[in-house]
């Protein structure tokens, strides 16, 4: 009957409240499941990061090994150059020990070869400088592009950070709105509970229902305590995972320090190589100084030759005086004068044997004086003197031939030395050209690699932006749908609640009118209610036990590592979970306070009602007796009216049942909408976390691009220094060639003078 509807409604509302709490617990378990999926995703991301780190480490090791190989090659080149310098110093010392001699054709050929080599060297140097200029321009362009890419990355990162902040603010606003809606729903539930308790205050049997509700609340409270303890254990697991993460970060820092120390060691090796180059340059300067000393020695030799020429002139003067005193032997003196003149020309041409020639001239002078005295004393000694002079001329001719042979040998040695230096210059030019080509190829490859890396980074950024735009649009659409569904559900729920309140008011009025007829039905309904509550208790106990068993199975199926990773991934959801726990605790506390107040008011109302019912029972007993008498009299006439009232009552019960079903359907729809909203929020949190991870990946890629650009710039600088060193070596070789050309000129002049002296001596010999 209608009186049974009030406790049935209250029971259904309590059941709905219990189901809501169970659904919330299911949602929390669903969140744990999502956290587990996030842990799997994090494992995959960690594996990818490890793979990338191993790849970058392998590349770094290869670069270090390549740089060490290049340093060894440079050391080998420096040793080769040092050996060449030593050979050249030895050859220079050998060439300085003897006077050079060569034919004019060989000298001209050497000059022509030197001119051609100089032109080729200048052309190659010009081409190398042009290539180096192009490489520098290309490097500047690459640096400019890298800086522009860096600026774009910074700007995009700022935009992404702003969008992330906006999404977080929207998430906070949505969370606050959901919290307000939950508070409104709790308030509505409390209002319905108050109305139900006020309606049940007329029933003495409601005390048992309230006690059972208390028992259910205690069980829910114990379940909440269990959830709190589980959250505490998860927080402890989070702390442990945080310590592990800090340990891994320290290990990464140690690895960075090791890489930095390796880079410092490489720089020190480069500095050592530079010091070696400086030592070689100092040795080259010392060699040039030695060449200057040789030139000064040649100048001293020239001054000695001038002194010998002056002595020869003095000898000529003395011979002229002797000629005036020995007129009778003018023919012999004329021959002797020709010999002396030839001897003077020979002495002027001899650079290396000037002192020997001077001694020979002095002996000749003494011999000439003795010959003049002998001629003056006796003309008979003329033939002996002429023979002696002829022997002296033969001796001078033989010494001249020996000196000419020595000069020829020296010229041949210097020609061989020039040939060797030319070959060394050609080899150095070829090596330098090969190094320049290798440098150009290496710089080109590095530039192409840098362009590819920048393009890849740009593609990643564009893909990230497109993905982020799509995700933001999808999130906005989902949020709009969620807001619309919530608004519709709230409006429908308010309408249904108003209809239910109106129906309850009508039912209260009908029950007030028909209270006398439904006393017996009320007792039966109370008994049925107690039986149903007991059955619900049994079902609820079984359901809770089944849920706890399922939770235990799920907890046992998770290993410790997965639990730690789940706890780490739930760190971002900690604030939301804590806010939920806080709101749930506040709601439970408010509900308990309200329930306590209702119990107190209900106890007072029940006491007043019992007193009132006792008073009314007496009057109603009399009224019942009168009504029974009246009913007996009116049974026949009121049978149709009773049937009509019964039909109306059944119709009201059917309408009430339909309204309850509709209310349950709307409540389920609202719960489903709420669950979908929470799932969408969780999905959005996952997307936000993924965007943050992508931002970090982009930042790492940008840092790597900057590091690679810095390394490439350093390598280009080192190669430029190597090229400058090779250019200095080439200039040194050109200087040596110029010095050799000057020496060849001197040798050519000495050879011409020697040939002229030889011809003069031959003429003088022919005359004698």
Contact 13, 189 (CB under 8 A): yes
Please indicate, yes or no, if residue 355 is contained in any of the structural domains: no
Assess whether pLDDT exceeds 80 at residue 26: yes
Mean pLDDT (whole number) for 8-29: 83
For residues 58 and 49, give the distance between their C-alpha atoms in angstroms, rounded to a whole number.
14
pLDDT tens digits, 468-513: 567 656 656 766 776 676 567 556 656 765 776 676 567 656 655 6
Please give the residue that has the higher pLDDT: either 322 or 727.
Answer: 727
Please indicate, yes or no, if residue 403 is contained in any of the structural domains: no
Q: What is the pLDDT of residue 435?
A: 62
Please indicate, yes or no, if residue 337 is contained in any of the structural domains: no
Q: What is the pLDDT of residue 102?
A: 46
Mean pLDDT, the chain, as a whole number?
A: 65
**Which residue range forms the structural domain that includes residue 556?**
2-89+105-180+209-272+442-747
The first and second tokens of residue 753, run together, are: 């003078």
The first and second tokens of residue 446, run together, are: 């590095």
Assess whether pLDDT exceeds 80 at residue 62: yes
CA torsion through residues 680, 231, 692, 33, sign: negative
Helix axis angle, 5-96 relative to 104-200, nearest 10°?
A: 170
Q: CB-based burial of residue 322 (10 Å sphere; 0-12 exposed, 13-18 middle, 19+ buried)?
A: buried
Please indicate, yes or no, if residue 125 is contained in any of the structural domains: yes
Choose among 71, 115, 79, 708: nearest CA to 425. Answer: 115
The length of the chain in residues reads 768
Give residue 350's pLDDT band: very low, low, confident or very high (50, 70, 90). low
- For residue 500, what are the CA distances in angstroms to 195, 522, 570? 11, 21, 42
473: Cβ–Cβ under 8 A, 6 or more apart, which residues?
none
Q: What is the pLDDT of residue 346?
A: 59
Calculate the CA 564 to chain-centre distance: 29
Please indicate, yes or no, if residue 459 is contained in any of the structural domains: yes
CB-CB neighbours of 691 under 10 Å: 19
- For residue 363, what are the CA distances in angstroms to 229, 343, 358? 128, 12, 9
674: Cβ–Cβ under 8 A, 6 or more apart, which residues?
178, 486
Give residue 100's pLDDT band: very low, low, confident or very high (50, 70, 90). very low
**DSSP track, 285-343:** HHHHHHHHHHHHHHHHHHHHHHHHHHHHHHHHHHHHHHHHH-GGGHHHHHHHHHHHHHH
pLDDT tens digits, 528-585: 656 665 665 565 556 545 555 555 565 555 555 555 654 555 565 565 456 555 655 6
Q: What is the pLDDT of residue 645?
A: 57
Which residue has tokens 């020695």? 297
Task: Give the DSSP H or E segment for 546.
Answer: helix 519-557
For residues 275 and 284, give the distance between their C-alpha atoms in angstroms, rounded to a whole number.
14
Assess whether pLDDT exceeds 80 at residue 628: no
Q: What is the pLDDT of residue 5?
A: 47
pLDDT tens digits, 327-343: 555 565 556 556 556 65
For residues 222 and 540, give the distance between their C-alpha atoms in angstroms, rounded to a whole number.
14
Mean pLDDT (whole number) for 629-634: 62
Range ranked top by mean pLDDT from 178-192, 296-310, 632-646, 689-703? 689-703
Q: In a 3-state reduction of DSSP, which class is residue 276?
A: helix
For residues 713 and 680, give the distance between their C-alpha atoms in angstroms, rounded to a whole number.
49
Assess whether pLDDT exceeds 80 at residue 190: no
CB-CB neighbours of 746 under 10 Å: 15
pTM above 0.85, yes or no: no
Assess whether pLDDT exceeds 70 at residue 398: no
Please indicate, yes or no, if residue 731 is contained in any of the structural domains: yes
Number of folded domains that form the chain: 1
pLDDT tens digits, 445-473: 755 665 576 566 557 656 656 765 676 56
Please give the residue that has the higher pLDDT: either 635 or 630.
Answer: 630
CA end-to-end span of the chain: 174
Contact 192, 594 (CB under 8 A): no
pLDDT over 90 percentage in the chain: 0
Mean pLDDT (whole number) for 720-737: 72
Assess whether pLDDT exceeds 50 at residue 631: yes
Among 150-164, 285-299, 717-731, 737-751, which stretch is predicted with the lowest mean pLDDT? 285-299
Assess whether pLDDT exceeds 60 at residue 746: yes
Q: What is the pLDDT of residue 4?
A: 42
For residues 86 and 284, give the distance between their C-alpha atoms in angstroms, rounded to a whole number.
10
Please indicate, yes or no, if residue 148 is contained in any of the structural domains: yes
pLDDT over 70 percentage in the chain: 26
Please indicate, yes or no, if residue 326 is contained in any of the structural domains: no
Please give the residue that has the higher pLDDT: either 314 or 749.
Answer: 749
209: Cβ–Cβ under 8 A, 6 or more apart, which residues?
7, 10, 11, 200, 529, 533
Q: What is the pLDDT of residue 432?
A: 57
Assess whether pLDDT exceeds 60 at residue 407: no
């Amino acid at each position: 009957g209608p009186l049974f509807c009030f406790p049935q409604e209250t029971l259904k509302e309590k059941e709905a409240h219990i189901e809501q709490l169970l659904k919330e617990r299911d949602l929390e378990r669903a969140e744990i499941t999502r956290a587990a999926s996030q842990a799997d995703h994090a494992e995959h991301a960690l594996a990818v990061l490890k793979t990338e780190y191993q790849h970058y480490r392998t590349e770094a090791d290869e670069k270090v090994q390549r740089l060490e190989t290049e340093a060894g090659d440079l050391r080998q080149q420096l040793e080769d150059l040092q050996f060449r310098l030593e050979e050249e110093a030895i050859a220079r010392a050998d060439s300085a020990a003897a006077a050079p001699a060569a034919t004019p054709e060989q000298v001209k050929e050497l000059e022509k070869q030197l001119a051609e080599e100089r032109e080729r060297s200048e052309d190659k140097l010009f081409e190398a400088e042009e290539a180096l200029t192009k490489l520098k321009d290309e490097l500047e362009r690459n640096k400019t592009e890298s800086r522009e890419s860096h600026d774009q990355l910074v700007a995009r990162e700022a935009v992404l950070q702003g969008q992330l902040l906006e999404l977080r603010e929207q998430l906070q606003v949505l969370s606050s709105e959901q919290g307000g809606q939950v508070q409104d729903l709790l308030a509505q539930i409390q209002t319905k509970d108050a109305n139900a308790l006020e309606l049940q205050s007329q029933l003495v049997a409601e005390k048992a229902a309230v006690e059972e509700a208390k028992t259910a609340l205690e069980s829910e409270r114990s379940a909440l305590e269990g959830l709190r303890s589980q959250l505490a254990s998860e927080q402890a697991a989070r702390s442990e995972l945080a310590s592990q993460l800090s340990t891994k970060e320290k290990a990464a820092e140690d690895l960075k320090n090791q890489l930095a120390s390796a880079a410092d060691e490489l720089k020190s090796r480069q500095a050592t190589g530079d010091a070696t180059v400086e030592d070689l340059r100092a040795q080259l300067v010392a060699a040039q100084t030695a060449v200057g000393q040789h030139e000064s020695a040649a100048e001293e030799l020239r001054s000695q030759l001038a002194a010998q020429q002056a002595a020869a002139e003095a000898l000529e003067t003395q011979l002229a005086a002797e000629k005036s005193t020995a007129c009778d032997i003018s023919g012999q003196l004329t021959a002797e004068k020709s010999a002396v003149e030839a001897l003077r020309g020979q002495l002027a041409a001899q650079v290396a044997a000037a002192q020997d020639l001077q001694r020979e001239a002095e002996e000749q002078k003494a011999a000439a004086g003795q010959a003049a005295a002998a001629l003056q004393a006796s003309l008979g000694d003329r033939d002996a003197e002429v023979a002696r002079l002829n022997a002296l001329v033969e001796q001078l001719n033989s010494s001249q031939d020996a000196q000419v042979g020595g000069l020829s040998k020296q010229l041949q040695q210097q020609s061989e030395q020039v040939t060797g230096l030319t070959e060394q210059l050609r080899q150095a030019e070829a090596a330098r050209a090969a190094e320049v080509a290798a440098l150009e190829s290496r710089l080109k490859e590095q530039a192409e690699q840098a362009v590819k890396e920048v393009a890849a980074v740009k593609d990643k950024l564009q893909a990230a932006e497109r993905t982020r735009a799509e995700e933001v649009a999808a999130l906005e659409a989902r949020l709009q749908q969620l807001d619309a569904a919530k608004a519709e559900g709230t409006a429908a729920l308010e309408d249904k609640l108003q209809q239910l309140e109106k129906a309850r008011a009508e039912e209260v009025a009908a029950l007030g009118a028909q209270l006398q007829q439904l006393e017996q039905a009320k007792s039966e309904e109370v008994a049925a209610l107690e039986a149903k509550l007991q059955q619900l208790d049994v079902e609820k106990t079984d359901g809770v036990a089944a849920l706890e068993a399922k939770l235990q199975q799920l907890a046992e199926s998770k290993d410790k590592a997965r639990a730690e990773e789940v706890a780490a991934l739930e760190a971002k959801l900690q604030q939301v979970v804590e806010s939920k726990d806080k709101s749930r605790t506040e709601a439970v506390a408010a509900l308990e306070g309200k329930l306590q107040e209702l119990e107190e008011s209900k106890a007072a109302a029940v006491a007043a009602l019992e007193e009132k019912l006792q008073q009314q029972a007496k009057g109603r007993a009399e009224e019942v007796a009168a009504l029974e008498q009246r009913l007996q009299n009116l049974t026949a006439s009121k049978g149709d009216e009773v049937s009509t009232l019964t039909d109306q009552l059944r119709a009201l019960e059917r309408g009430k049942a339909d309204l309850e079903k509709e209310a349950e359907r709307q409540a389920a729809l609202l719960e489903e909408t709420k669950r979908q909203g929470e799932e969408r929020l969780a999905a959005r949190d996952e997307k936000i976390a993924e965007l943050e991870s992508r931002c970090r990946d982009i930042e790492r890629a940008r840092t790597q691009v900057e590091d690679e650009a810095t390394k490439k710039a350093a390598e280009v600088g080192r190669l430029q220094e190597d090229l400058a060193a090779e250019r200095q070596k080439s200039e040194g070789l050109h200087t040596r060639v110029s010095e050799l050309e000057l020496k060849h000129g001197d040798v050519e002049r000495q050879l011409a003078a020697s040939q002229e002296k030889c011809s003069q001596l031959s003429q003088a010999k022919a005359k004698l």
